[in-house]
């Protein structure tokens, strides 16, 4: 596993973004782990988060694209942090863009924030965690309405590796439905592999009992 992935897993634990215990997801699933990206709350955390995204974007897509698009609202700070990190770490000036939830009719009018999207632009979409495709269905028409653009793919921070509406994972469904590449900084399989029976800051985050609970969860909700 690449060093930046290991660092990112520890970073999520430190920020309490990644937690283990007894939780219930929005869909009503009882889960032994929970990812809450709302716990990235400081400038220093966003600098580091942008750096991890930058490395994962570079690994998956290279730097041969023009615009990083972050859907409102959580995608707005992500696209800013990641484009700043790409500029700092790789010397490539990628434009950032997000959408508004409501169209503005004065001043900086329109539905977009940041850079406009133009004909022939190559776009990568950035989000926080694996989605069911709802955000993509809302934002793709916005992006495509700006011109003849090429949406290369989607990157999220963590792939939960759970079934979406069918037998495939949510990211696999997005990839198949919208014909775009999908990737994540880390998958939950990588998280478990790295943390299982590993002492981190004096504590074993995933012990045998937690590993059994995670395995049972994926037996029910994981991709077969």
Q: DSSP for 3-66, please give it.
A: HHHHHHHHHHHHTTSEEEEEEE-TTS-EEEEEE-GGG--SHHHHHHHHHHHHHHHHHHHTT--S
Distance CA(90)–CA(179), nearest Å, equals 28
Residue 55 has pLDDT above 90, yes or no: yes
Query: Is the confidence at residue 131, as pLDDT, over 70?
Result: no
* Average pLDDT of the segment spanning 167-195: 93
Cβ-based neighbour number of residue 24 at 10 Å: 10
Rounded to whole angstroms, the Cα distance separating 187 from 161 reads 7
Quickly count: other Cβ atoms within 10 Å of residue 74's Cβ. 17
**What's the rounded mean pLDDT across residues 198-217?**
96
Residues 6+ apart with CB under 8 A from 135: 71, 75, 127
| 127 pLDDT higher than 70 | yes
Active site residues: 104, 106
210: helix, coil or strand? helix
Whether the pLDDT of residue 86 is over 90: the answer is: yes
184 DSSP β-pair partners: 156
Cβ within 8 Å of residue 146, ≥6 positions away: 112, 116, 117, 118, 121
Q: What is the mean pLDDT of residues 141-165?
A: 92
**Higher pLDDT among residues 167 and 40, named by residue:** 40
Instruction: Report angle CA 103, 108, 110 to the nearest 5 degrees.
Output: 30
Residue 105 has pLDDT above 90, yes or no: no
108 is written with which tokens?
């900086």
Q: Quote the CA–CA distance of 9 and 158 in Å, as a whole number.
A: 10
């Amino acid at each position: 596993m690449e060093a930046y992935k290991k660092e990112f897993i520890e970073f999520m634990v430190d920020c309490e973004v990644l937690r283990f215990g007894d939780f219930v997801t929005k869909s009503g699933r009882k889960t032994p782990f929970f990812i809450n990206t709302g716990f990235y709350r400081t400038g220093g955390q966003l600098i580091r988060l942008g750096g991890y995204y930058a490395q994962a974007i570079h690994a998956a897509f290279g730097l041969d694209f023009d615009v990083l698009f972050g859907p409102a609202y959580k995608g707005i700070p992500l696209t800013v942090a990641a484009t700043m990190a790409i500029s700092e770490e790789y010397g490539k000036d990628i434009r950032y863009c997000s959408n508004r939830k409501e169209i503005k009719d004065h001043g900086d009018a329109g539905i977009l924030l940041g850079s406009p999207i133009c004909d022939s632009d190559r776009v990568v979409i950035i989000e926080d965690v694996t989605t069911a495709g709802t955000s993509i269905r809302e934002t793709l028409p916005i992006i495509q309405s700006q011109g003849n653009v090429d949406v290369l793919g989607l990157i999220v921070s963590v792939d939960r590796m759970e079934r979406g509406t069918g037998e495939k994972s949510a990211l696999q469904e997005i990839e198949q439905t919208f014909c775009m590449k999908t990737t994540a900084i880390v998958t939950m399989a990588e998280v478990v592999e790295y943390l299982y029976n590993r002492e981190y800051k004096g504590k074993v985050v995933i012990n045998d009992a937690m590993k059994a609970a995670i395995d049972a969860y994926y037996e029910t909700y994981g991709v077969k």
